[in-house]
Structure 1
Amino acid sequence: MKIPFLPVCLCFILILALTGVTHAQNKNKKPLIVFVTGDHEYSGESTLPLLAAELEKNYNMHVKVLKAYPDQNAEENIPGLETLKEADLAVFYLRWRRLPAEQVQYIEEYLNSGKPVMGFRTSTHAFNYPEGHPLRKWNAFGEFALGSPPGWGGKAGHTHCGHDCSTDVSVIADAAKHPILKGVEPAFHVRSWLYKVLPDYPAKGSTWLLMGKAVNPNKAGFADNPVAWTWQTPAGGRVFATTMGHPEDFGVESFQRLVVNAIHWTLGKPVPKKWKGKMEINVPYRGM
């Protein structure tokens, strides 16, 4: 029995059309970025929503901001972490949390998925479980998620230059052409007091982007240290990490551009060809 030629052609055309629609839908789909916040000191739950609004308005992103509940000092609850199941990018700004196992499970599943990760400042010491706790391995979150030291102090000697200190930031020459640094000034200043991550971190395989120099350090002889780098998680996810993140940093245009570029790069998208302009982010430092 012969199959009529015309119906076969029509079916083929229909398949091509549907395939084209699906491709267009995927191309135009807004990536979902999930900000996970909970820090006692740096107001990440206030700065990141302002960044999120700019990403949705000007950069075709969809963003959800998760916050510690009932406030930033609540160390044992961040509602909504199940949203990470749909996330295209997870951005962490955490400090010394002790989340329950069912919430940590969502973070673990995300990291194991090989999707990209970003982390600000105190996310190097995101968790603080006591000795003997079944989740104590998560105190090393910075190491296995960001390529940073595995928590505060310890064998890595992770510390900072003192609260009177601030940081002069400069582009590392070998990284000057990295997409994340497009439009970032060769040198700029941030209020963040410089973190010590050397000599063993950033982790092997990382690419250092920016170097920090302590200004008015409280500790003598405080060495220059990297303040931004890329890496890859054990599961293969792209990583951008920075030890900057004081709320005043978010008002610095070069820092803003760095972060927007990094979000695009971790998602595997081209960095914006055109900068949409400086964001109005004026959040005071809260302190402890």
Structure 2
Amino acid sequence: MRNFIYVLLGVFFLSIAPLANAQKKTKKPLIVFVCGDHEYSGEQTLPLLANFLEKEYGFETKILKSFPDQNAEKNIPGLEILKDADLAVFFLRWRLLPADQITPIEAYLTSGKPIMGFRTSTHSFNYPKGDPLESYNGFAERAFGAPPGWGGIAQHTHYGHNASTDVRIIPEKAKHPILTGVSPDFHVRSWLYRVLPDYPKKGTEWLLMGKAVNPDKVAVDQPVAWTWENEYKGKVFFTTMGHPEDFSVEPFQRLIVNAIHWELGKEVPKKWKGNLNINVPYRGMVNSK
């Protein structure tokens, strides 16, 4: 009788093993979008991008937002889910998160998992001098190879709100997977960010250059998208683009979708399933209601 039970148990475990393996293989990658910027409506554009990724490519996504609105600098609920994320995407600006919310961000960064950032994430945090978390103002340098905050020694700034940017693929990088199907040149509303001469950090791979249109000062062409491997061995994609109107531009949409696949170690789609219907007007800085 005992042998018979052992046989049944053996058959049972053999029968469920393929199912368990199949479930493991079919687990959807989880992309966590962390939104908190005063100006560029990332809390509106990124959910539309996330819906497209779920519908067309089978990813699982989670949107985290500053609460109660984009101007709330001290609270982004739900950051503990980062421990389960396969990719974290940041669109932050001058947050003052408490230490218990910085902890899961730091744990994700140092885990070596892939990480992506948009525009004002160069100055994700803005802790005052002497604050225990003041060093976190340099998050972007460690995470993305970007300038460590706004202004400062890096003189990170832009070429005026009335400017926009002509973008072109760097010819030598045209065959990079992230640039698959991306137009060799296109135009975005983002006013060009100045990151040179000291950033992006040494070792980054520049993919796209931007030229300021109607700048408010003498302008120098700047890299607007790059990849990197940070010190924690995490794959990085960063872009200084991210104005809400940029998300309506098809080459920009494809660039981001390609970069997400690349960061997750998946084949970049050869067939484009866009154009995405993302039409979020520029809000700028507005007071909370």
**In structure 2, what is the Cα distance between the partners aligned to 1:95 and 1:258?**
22
What does the per-residue CA deviation read over 1:94-143, in whole Å, with 9 as the maximum and x for residues that have no partner? 00000000000010000111111000000000000000000011100110
Instruction: Select 2:90's aligned residue among 80, 89, 92.
Output: 92
Please give the alpha-carbon distance, in whole angstroms, between the structure 2 residues aligned to 1:285 and 1:192. Answer: 10
> Cα distance 1:20–1:177, how it changes in 2: closer, same or farther (>3 A)?
farther
Counterparts of 1:185 and 1:24 in 2: how far apart (Å)? 38
Structure 2: distance between partners of 1:154 and 1:133: 17
CA contact (8 A) 2:74 2:97 kept: yes
TM-score between both structures, scaled by the size of structure 1 = 0.94
Provide the residue aligned with 1:74 in structure 2.
72
Match in the other structure for 2:275: 278
> Shift of residue 274 of structure 1?
1.7
CA contact (8 A) 2:181 2:270 kept: no
- For the residues of structure 1 that align with 2:141 and 2:249, how far apart are their CA atoms? 27
Runs of 4 or more off by more than 3 Å in structure 1?
A: 13-23
SS at match of 1:77: coil
**Equivalent residues in 2 for 1:3-42, closer than 5 Å:** 20-42=18-40
Matched, 1:118 2:127: no
How far is the alpha carbon of 1:234 from its aligned partner? 1.2
Question: Which residues in structure 2 correspond to 1:225-244 (within 5 Å)?
Answer: 225-244=222-241
How many corresponding residue pairs?
282
| 1:257-268 map, 5 Å | 257-268=254-265
2:160 alignment partner in structure 1: 162
Please name the residue that 2:63 is paired with. Answer: 65
Q: Distance in 2 between matches of 1:207 and 1:233?
A: 12
CA–CA distance in structure 2, aligned partners of residues 59 and 23 of structure 1? 21
Partner-residue secondary structure (3-state), 1:192: coil
The corresponding residue for 1:214 is 212
CA distance in 2: counterparts of 1:283 and 1:87, whole angstroms: 27
Q: Which 10-residue stretch deviates more, 264-273 or 16-25?
A: 16-25
Structure-2 separation of matches of 1:26 and 1:274? 27
Displacement of 1:24 in angstroms is 2.7
Matches of 2:61 and 2:258, distance apart in 1: 16
Name the % identity: 69
User: What is residue 254 of structure 1 aligned with on the other side?
Assistant: 251
In 2, Cα distance between the equivalents of 1:108 and 1:173?
A: 36
**Letter aligned with residue 218 of structure 1:** D
Question: Given the alignment, which residue of 129, 138, 153 partners 1:140?
Answer: 138
Aligned-CA RMSD value: 1.8
Distance 1:58 1:25 in 2: 20
TM-aligned CA deviation for residue 75 of structure 1 = 0.4
Instruction: Say whether residues 1:172 and 2:170 are aligned partners.
Output: yes
Q: Deviations over 1:59-96 (max 9, x none)?
A: 11011100001100010000010110111110000000
Question: Which amino acid in 2 is paired with 1:115?
Answer: K
The normalised TM-score by structure 2 is: 0.93
SS state of the match for residue 61, structure 2? Answer: strand
Cα drift, residue 17 of structure 1: 6.1
1:131 to 129, 132, 135: 129
